[in-house]
């Protein structure tokens, strides 16, 4: 048995291990990182940009001639709701004298 044998892998490389392509590993890591970053950005975008959804349960009478017309209803300006065509306006709820 030789003490100074440097044939560590038994392939006759004399201490020189097979070269691993670093560019393939780096490209693979970068593509995974890119996908993760894009996925996180999309999830954040969906969470942070939310539309205020108006529930149909909170509808209000928007006719000024009705007895139950209230210019401020549940924190909403009813006149603004009327002029913007909001789905919160429901004149079927109005009571007339």
pLDDT exceeding 90 applies to what percent of the chain?
0
- Cα gap 85→69, rounded to integer Å: 16
* Domain spans of the chain, in order of start: 1-50, 56-93
For the stretch 57-78, pLDDT in tens is 578 888 888 998 888 888 888 8
- Is pLDDT of 48 > 60? yes
Given CA atoms 84, 85, 89, 91 in this order, what sign does their dihedral have? Answer: positive
Tell me, what's the pLDDT at 54? 47
Q: What is the pTM of this model?
A: 0.39
Tell me, what's the pLDDT at 4? 59
Task: Evaluate whether 17 touches 7 at the Cβ level (below 8 Å).
Answer: no
Residues in the chain: 97
Tell me, what's the pLDDT at 29? 74
């Amino acid at each position: 048995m030789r003490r100074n044998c440097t044939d560590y892998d038994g392939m006759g490389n004399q201490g020189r291990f097979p070269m691993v392509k670093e560019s393939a590993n780096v490209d693979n890591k970068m593509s995974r990182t890119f996908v993760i970053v894009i996925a996180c950005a999309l999830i954040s975008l969906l969470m942070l940009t939310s539309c205020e959804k108006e529930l149909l349960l909170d509808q209000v009478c928007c006719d000024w001639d009705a007895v139950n017309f209230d210019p401020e209803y549940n924190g909403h300006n009813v006149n603004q709701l009327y002029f913007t065509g909001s789905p919160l306006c429901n004149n079927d709820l109005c009571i007339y004298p």
